[in-house]
A and B are shown apart, each in its own frame.
Chain A
Amino acid sequence: MALLELKHVSKSFALAKGTLLVLEDICFNVEEGEFVALVGPSGCGKSTLLRIINGIVPLTSGQVLYNERQNDGINLESALVFQSFALLPWLTVKANIEMGLEARGIALAERERIASVYIDKVGLDGFEEAYPRELSGGMKQRVGLARALAVEPKVLLMDEPFSALDALTAITLREELLDIWQARDMSVHTIVMVTHIIEEAVELADRIIVMGSGPGRVVADLKVDIPRPRDRRAEVFNAFADKVFSLIEERG
């Protein structure tokens, strides 16, 4: 059985005049252990869809099933990583990472132990007491990643996690993310990532769901059958990226 099932998910926002339909009849499943990328033109509602899967944005109609059960409210077994990092500037790196644990009522000593595990995992050693403003973009996103991993979710939801970073930093972080995911030594094996960088999706994902806009809908659902580790300069890689690109161009 699929870990996540999206059934006829629609979302509309109330405007001053009438309503705006942003997502229409979205259906797909995400299997346990799968890395799924959502790609599409800007404004196709892919970030909104990610938030619907997490539960902070309520859907208008349809269902999101997690382990065959419908979640009302926020699915605390999923964790979000933000494009803008969304770190609290007044908390240290450590306190930012502990925040989700605190919300789950975990005692201080245990919180500190867990936080230090993930600080180590994402390579933030020595920065525990730093404030976000003192860090580079890449380091900030490591904090964002550690904060998400620390609550030991089953599903990691990533909203354009590398889009605000410079190209070189993004490459490093992508590789690290793959290492973490492939090591399979954590609770999280399933990742849903929103991105508008097609190469990123092809490099990372098992499956790419191509979305179109106006209103947002699923245009294509492609299995990325390129063996790992993937070479960004290989011909199959570029051919696949071209295919996704033309799908977006034609039907996006």
Chain B
Amino acid sequence: MVNSALSFLVLAAVIALFFAYRNRAMILHAPEFKFSLAHLPYYAYCSFYRMLAAYVIALLFSISYGMMAARGPSWERVMIPAIDIAQSVPVVGFFPAAVYFFVALAHGSRLGVEMAAIFLIFTSQAWNMALGVFEAVKTIPEDSAQALEAFGVSGWLKFRRLLMPACVPKLVYNSILSWVSGWYYLIACEIITVGPAHYRLPGLGSFLMEAADRGEPLEIVSGLLTLLAVIVAMDIIVWQPLTVWSEKFRYEFAASSATAQSLGMFAALSGIGPAVTRMLRAILMPGVRAINRAFEAMPTVHLLSRKQAQQVSRIGQVVLISAVVLLFAYAIVAGLAALIRTLDQPWPSEVKQIPAATVASMMRMIVAYAISLAWTIPCALAASESPRFNRFLAPAAEIIGSMPATALFPLIVIFVIKVTGGMNLASILLILTGMQWYVLFNLLAGVNQVPEDLKEAARVFGLSRVATWRKLTLPAVTPSLITGSLTAWGGGWNALILSEYFIYRGHTYQVMGLGALLDAATYQTGNGVMILLSLLSMILVVIVLNRLIWRRLYEVATERFKLDY
């Protein structure tokens, strides 16, 4: 509890520090948004390069962070909970803060907005990849590590021969997930910039928003199709070949997981995948081999003796660590000062709305979560009974689930507002799109892990359908359901921020809720106290829910329902 409170305070300080740049961020005049189909490829390129930039940074970060955290128990104790906390920040809510910070950093140039978007996507991609690297390094069999050490393999050679290859399967798997969530948040950022904020990011998200705003069906459909095409192309050209390739880097006895296989999306097009793989291999492999050869032909030069090299690396480490610690200490001190300065201002009357708004938002989240469960659990049960249904459902869900639901937000909102005149239903629908896939994917993964012989045993002993669900399937998927729910709630909070406040044709639609308070404060009143308090309230709710409900449930579930008989 003390730990949680402390880390919350640190987080609050860091966020306050970002917000402190608000006063320095000057208004940027949005460049004219050229809205025409001819510009669509350009917008697709803009979105894609943002994704790519963020991903490259996330990749480098996750490799260094994950490997450092795996160095020893004392590193692990600090670095892994830090990720846990970072994960509880709703990425979308943090976007305005990031914009202020980076626009100020870039001296008011438009580059700042780009940097903020890239930073945001980075934060949605990096954490799970870093955890993946950490787990991969931690689960390297001790014998392998010792064998290398006994033969004197260390440093760069060890990194190249052992650490990096061992991470490949988990990195590829998590990269696919990271791109899915990256698209979701990128589109969200781009939508925000067209809607309420004054910064405009040219991209597919802003194009879709503009198209929905103007009510141009042709442009809406072309925008969506372009997005779909980019995602499908990425999957066929990059992820499927990489998934196949990554199998090479598995330790045999580590059960080759079915989930990794099924994540190679768009299985319907699987014939194209291998063909592209072969083609790419034919084109790329000679080059790769040549580089490898060149690398290997270089004899390892020992400029320094073993002892000296150790000393140099130790000094380097101390310098690096002290730099990070100093930077962090500065950030916390400056952040706390900024926090106090901000909260020292007179509090607006809206602050009193925060508790009620929190309850209202929670209600929406609960309804959306209930709807998610209501359709995903029957689907998972059906998939467990019928392999045919499973074979159809898994790839279909992956195709739909990998489309960023945020791209449909403008359409959904505008449609619902037209029909019902209010935002409440739209808001719940949007939250639902942010939640349901996580639940479904985890449930399906859980269903696939139920051992065949247990299913046979249920049949042999003549268990009825309902009894099989109660005694076998539901208990067996419970840990996966809880993991999925935890992630779903994380996605839900982000969707919530987008969903409670919407500007359409100059008219602001909003409902009572924490997300609306945050958005209104950010984009309307610009009241720093309100922005900070509503964002922090949301983070607090997320942390409390994780600690009090999800983590405990997870511990109980894994203890009771683990399949390690």
> What are 21 A-B pairs at a CB distance below 8 A?
A73-B306, A79-B151, A80-B147, A80-B150, A80-B151, A82-B143, A82-B146, A84-B141, A88-B144, A88-B165, A90-B249, A102-B153, A102-B296, A102-B300, A103-B148, A103-B151, A103-B153, A103-B157, A103-B300, A132-B252, A151-B151
B251 within 8 A of partner (CB): yes
Q: A89-B252, A107-B297 are in contact. Are A102 and B157 (CB under 8 A)?
A: yes
Most buried by A among B157, B296, B302: B296
What is A's interface to B at a CB cutoff of 8 Å? 51, 54-56, 73-74, 76, 78-80, 82-84, 86-91, 99-100, 102-108, 131-133, 147, 151
The reply to whether A56 and B299 form a contact with Cβ atoms under 8 Å apart is: no
Q: A74-B149, A76-B152, A82-B147 are in contact. Are A91 and B161 (CB under 8 A)?
A: yes
Q: Which residues of B contact A84 (CB under 8 A)?
A: 141, 143
Give the CA-CA distance A56 to B149 in the complex, in Å: 7
Q: A89-B248, A91-B161, A105-B302 are in contact. Are A147 and B151 (CB under 8 A)?
A: yes
Most buried by B among A83, A102, A107: A102
- From DSSP, what is the main secondary structure of chain B's interface residues? helix
The reply to whether B165 and A90 form a contact with Cβ atoms under 8 Å apart is: yes
Closest to B146 in A: A56
Closest to A73 in B: B306
The reply to whether B149 and A105 form a contact with Cβ atoms under 8 Å apart is: no
What is B's interface to A at a CB cutoff of 8 Å? 141, 143-144, 146-154, 157, 161-162, 165, 168, 248-252, 293, 296-297, 299-302, 306
Shortest distance between the CB of A35 and any CB in chain B (Å): 20
Give the CA-CA distance A104 to B152 in the complex, in Å: 7
Shortest distance between the CB of A109 and any CB in chain B (Å): 8
* Total cross-chain contacts (CB, 8 A): 81
Most buried by A among B150, B248, B302: B150
The reply to whether A56 and B161 form a contact with Cβ atoms under 8 Å apart is: no
Closest to B306 in A: A73
The reply to whether B146 and A99 form a contact with Cβ atoms under 8 Å apart is: no
Q: A56-B146, A56-B149, A103-B157 are in contact. Are A86 and B297 (CB under 8 A)?
A: no
Closest to B145 in A: A86
The reply to whether A105 and B300 form a contact with Cβ atoms under 8 Å apart is: yes
Q: A105-B299, A108-B297, A133-B252 are in contact. Are A86 and B147 (CB under 8 A)?
A: yes
Q: A74-B149, A99-B161 are in contact. Are A86 and B144 (CB under 8 A)?
A: yes
Give the CA-CA distance A220 to B169 in the complex, in Å: 48
The reply to whether A108 and B296 form a contact with Cβ atoms under 8 Å apart is: yes
Q: A90-B165, A108-B297 are in contact. Are A74 and B150 (CB under 8 A)?
A: yes
Shortest distance between the CB of A53 and any CB in chain B (Å): 11
Q: Which of A51, A104, A151 contacts B146 (CB 8 A)?
A: A51
Give the CA-CA distance A79 to B162 in the complex, in Å: 18
Shortest distance between the CB of B564 and any CB in chain A (Å): 21
Give the CA-CA distance A178 to B149 in the complex, in Å: 27
Shortest distance between the CB of A45 and any CB in chain B (Å): 16
Closest to B162 in A: A88
The reply to whether B152 and A74 form a contact with Cβ atoms under 8 Å apart is: yes
Closest 6 CB pairs of A and B: A100-B151, A86-B147, A86-B143, A105-B300, A103-B153, A80-B150
Q: Which residues of B contact A107 (CB under 8 A)?
A: 297, 299
Q: A84-B141, A107-B299 are in contact. Are A99 and B153 (CB under 8 A)?
A: yes
Q: Which of A74, A86, A133 contacts B141 (CB 8 A)?
A: A86
Closest to B299 in A: A107
Q: Which residues of A contact B146 (CB under 8 A)?
A: 51, 56, 80, 82, 86
Give the CA-CA distance A80 to B146 in the complex, in Å: 9
Q: Which of B143, B162, B252, B301 contacts A105 (CB 8 A)?
A: B301
Give the CA-CA distance A78 to B301 in the complex, in Å: 22
Closest to A105 in B: B300
Q: Which residues of A contact B154 (CB under 8 A)?
A: 103
Most buried by B among A79, A103, A107: A103
Shortest distance between the CB of B157 and any CB in chain A (Å): 6
